[in-house]
Amino acid sequence: MTKIAIFQGIDRHFEMLGYLFDFCYSNNLEFTLFSPTFLDWEDYYNKIFDKKIVWNSPAFFSPDNFDYIFLVTDDDPYFKDEWTYGNNHKIICIDHWTGHIRRNNVLVHVNTRYATKYNNIFWALPTYPVIKSVEEKLTFTNNNHSINVVCIGYNSTPKSSENLKTIFTNFNDINFHIINHYIYYKYDDVSNIKEYINASVETMTTLLKNADYVLCLQNNNTKDYINDIMSAAIPMAFNFGCQLIIPHSWNDSYKFKSPIVYEYNFTKINLTKLSEPAPILKERDWIISYRDKVFKGIMKL
């Protein structure tokens, strides 16, 4: 049997592990995980995949024991250069900065996203099916009659409630859930904006299960999201069957079919409850099948 290592030396990007677990489990491939322990993510993945996943210390990793090695983050300082010698045919490097090679001594690179600017390179969106069906998604969203929108990360943290009112005509009908390590802005006690500072994995994933939409905001710090990098909120939205709301300029590069796209100061959105998650899950299923095609092609499976 093909033996696979998943190497994650740094203590971040744990959200990336899910699509590699899913690829291996879906294709009956044996894998060994080398990653720092993070109990929140361990508990989450054990529950999602109904498995007891063993988290081995990166200190115990040896490339000689494996046929293929997924390097989860291309600039991981804990992945030793000496491990590439004689093993280049084994290493599949996941590049987080599209079109920019940050580990030149590795031959095989797979980007985390598609970009029209770099349409001739391998890519696989870090997506996997947490919500399995339309019926399951609607079971969660129908439990709450409010419209729920989740914003994840610093760049999608609105600067003020006015920032959101410029996009949504029915702002007062929507519950906004802002998840970030820090909240830099105050919302003047607006009752429909809730803040979650350093939210646990369970809190974040529960919010996403029940959310109708995931909103990505565009500001001066997110120009790279058009061609080069990607917010982790995007694959998380697909994982949980939420409809993305993203800037038009981003989707010109991503070419997704299911999101709502907008332009600041031009597009006014009147949101309703998510009633048709089928197009989102259909696009996600295609993304997953394309991921399998890319990885299986590289591994000659």
**DSSP-derived 3-state class of residue 281:** helix
Mean pLDDT for 198-208 is: 95
| 227, 98 contact by CB (below 8 A) | yes
Check residue 219 and give its pLDDT: 66
Has residue 119 got a pLDDT over 70? Answer: yes
Question: Residue 182 above 80 pLDDT?
Answer: no
- 69-99 per-position pLDDT tens digit: 999 999 999 999 999 998 888 999 999 988 7
Dihedral sign computed on CA atoms, order 286, 292, 298, 301: negative
From residue 7, alpha-carbon distances to 13, 62, 70 in Å are: 12, 10, 6
Q: If you average pLDDT over every residue of the chain, what do you get?
A: 92
Amino acid at 112: T
pLDDT at 237: 98
> How far from 292 is each of 19, 146, 156, 230, 269, CA to CA, in Å?
10, 36, 30, 20, 35
For the chain, which domains are there? 3-111 (3.40.50), 134-277 (3.40.50.2000)
Q: Which residue has the higher pLDDT, 230 or 281?
A: 281
pLDDT of residue 223: 66
CA dist 52 and 43 (Å) reads 9
Look at residue 76 in the predicted model and tell me its pLDDT. Answer: 95
Please determine, for residue 220, whether its predicted confidence score (pLDDT) is greater than 70. no
Residue pLDDT, tens place only, 245-273: 999 989 998 999 999 999 877 889 999 99
φ, ψ (nearest 5 deg) of residue 45? -70, -35
